[in-house]
Structure 1
Amino acid sequence: MNVVNSIRRNFAPIHREGYLFVAGFFVATLILWWIWDPLGWLGLIATLWCAYFFRDPARVTPVGEDLVIAPADGIVSFAGYAAPPPELGLGMGPLQRVSIFMSVFDCHVNRTPVEGRVERIVYHPGLFLNADLDKASEDNERNSIVVDTPAGRFGVVQIAGLIARRIICFTHEGAHLSAGERIGLIRFGSRVDVYLPANVQIVVGVDSRAVAGETVIAQSSSSAGARPFQRS
């Protein structure tokens, strides 16, 4: 089963946002091959990496109003209390936050952690510091999304990284989202922060690996047991 899951995640369709980049890498590879064969092989490796970077695998999302699902693939770099960006409108006091750092080898399609209505989307220009640094939450380019749910308001912040140069948002204000639904993409290394209401408890630890649309990162109750799933 682990082998099947690995194949499903690593050999997936390319997201349409990546078509132009993959084509550009391929053309550059042909030119490099014409110049010198070893360069062509390097270009081919880079083209395959680019196609891999823009993969968009289907995910199987656990269903439950009390569950908060990972919005990104990657390593949990922070799980604790932090002040949210002011544009979220969630107050100035510290809130629980889970940060997931995406390397250039992780899938960069982002998903909503909860079901709810998009209340607000605010783009904030900024720097391109290493997204693994805590100060990136304040200084880097970011796109902030507030999702209103019966359990409270959740903040989802897409943060550009050291070599990321564009944040793409797929949703819009007023949209109703299902948990695990695609909401955006960040190109070439980045981070996603999730700010949680007070009645929600973080259930992942720092340095653990998260899978967007599948890994439960927080829960509003201690109930356990079998849960339904939905494919997204």
Structure 2
Amino acid sequence: MSFDWVLLIQLTIIVVCLFFLIDYALRFPFPSRAVAPFLPPMKRWPVEQLWKWVEDGSPDPGFLRFFMRDPERRIPPGDDWIAAVDGTVLAKLTRDRRNFLVISLNVWDVHVGRIPFPGIITGYIEHGDIIDSDRSDPLRDEPYYFLRGKRSPKQRYMEVQTDYGLARIRFITSYLSRRIEFFHPVGSHLEKGQRIGRMLFGSTCVIEVDEDYAFEAKEGQRVVAGETIILKNPKKKL
């Protein structure tokens, strides 16, 4: 009896269709594996699905590879300051003779930070889980304070001595993802655009400088770490 190739092909098609149908049913309402590769990141990994993975401790390996990406950037020459992270400018604040630029990241942004200006790391400070109780924080009473609404927020920031005075770069995360990693020890000299650290699912970065330096980035503006200029031709203090 001759082998029926037509029947085999038809059975194969049926099995493949059943596989994708079952996969679709199991992953509903999230994209099936047949569709996901053709979708942009925000559609491929919906935020509801991402938080479920984080809470369960079982993130998708494909998303983890995407999240941990660390692309090269074209650092602008000269003294212009650059954005520390990818994201959207949430606010520009002035408190206690200091200027603050608040950048909000979404979960699909690159989470590796870069230093906006050259300088020497002079220290690291960690506030712990409940920052709102820390009365030394100059932004504690801000009406749209970027930590409000976060459950058990945590932040670490690096202090950097620069030609423009003392600067601080804060990384902030929430209760679901409290891992903050800085790459360099105290005393390290960093060049503008050099990588400084990573937030694991972190959501906010704050650049803090002397009040003499007014950030030119606009609220609502999308910025790219290492490339977007946030202040042009700042005058050095030293």
Q: Which residue pairs with 2:62 in the alignment?
A: 48
Identity of matched residues, %: 28
Q: Which residue pairs with 1:73 in the alignment?
A: 86
Q: Which residue pairs with 2:147 in the alignment?
A: 136
Q: Which residue pairs with 1:194 in the alignment?
A: 207
Deviations 1:36-89 (A, max 9, x none): 533474597544332221110000111223x2211100000011213xxxxxxx
Shift of 1:120: 1.1
Q: Which residue pairs with 1:124 in the alignment?
A: 127
CA 1:75–1:55: 2 relative to 1, 3 Å: same
Amino acid of the structure 1 residue aligned with 2:69: R
Q: 1: CA distance between counterparts of 2:210 and 2:114?
A: 18
Preserved contact between residue 162 and residue 190 of structure 1 (Cα < 8 Å): no
Q: Which residue pairs with 2:116 in the alignment?
A: 113
Shift of 1:121: 1.0
Is 1:169 aligned to residue 182 of structure 2? Answer: yes
Amino acid of the structure 1 residue aligned with 2:183: F
Report the aligned-residue RMSD. Answer: 2.8
Amino acid of the structure 1 residue aligned with 2:68: F
Q: 1: CA distance between counterparts of 2:106 and 2:175?
A: 10
Shift of 1:220: 4.9
Q: 1: CA distance between counterparts of 2:162 and 2:208?
A: 13
Amino acid of the structure 1 residue aligned with 2:179: R
Q: 2: CA distance between counterparts of 1:162 and 1:75?
A: 21
Q: Which residue pairs with 1:207 in the alignment?
A: 220
Preserved contact between residue 161 and residue 191 of structure 1 (Cα < 8 Å): no
Work out which of the two has the higher radius of gyration on C-alpha atoms and give 1 or 2: 2
Aligned to 1:118, the other structure's residue is in SS state: strand
Amino acid of the structure 1 residue aligned with 2:213: V
Is 1:99 aligned to residue 97 of structure 2? Answer: no
Match of 1:185 among 183, 194, 198: 198
Output aligned runs, 1:3-42, within 5 Å.
37-38=23-24, 39=26, 41=32
Aligned to 2:94, the other structure's residue is in SS state: strand
CA 1:197–1:176: 2 relative to 1, 3 Å: same
Amino acid of the structure 1 residue aligned with 2:114: R
Shift of 1:94: 4.1
Amino acid of the structure 2 residue aligned with 1:136: L
Task: Give unmatched runs, 5+ long, in structure 1.
Answer: 1-32, 83-92, 223-232
Amino acid of the structure 1 residue aligned with 2:169: V
Preserved contact between residue 179 and residue 200 of structure 2 (Cα < 8 Å): yes
Is 1:146 aligned to residue 154 of structure 2? Answer: no
Task: Give unmatched runs, 5+ long, in structure 2.
Answer: 1-18, 37-43, 45-59, 133-143
Q: 1: CA distance between counterparts of 2:87 and 2:131?
A: 19
Match of 2:172 among 155, 159, 164: 159
Q: 2: CA distance between counterparts of 1:181 and 1:157?
A: 16
Shift of 1:201: 2.2
CA 1:141–1:52: 2 relative to 1, 3 Å: same
Preserved contact between residue 128 and residue 163 of structure 1 (Cα < 8 Å): no
Amino acid of the structure 1 residue aligned with 2:147: A
TM-score w.r.t. length of structure 1 = 0.66
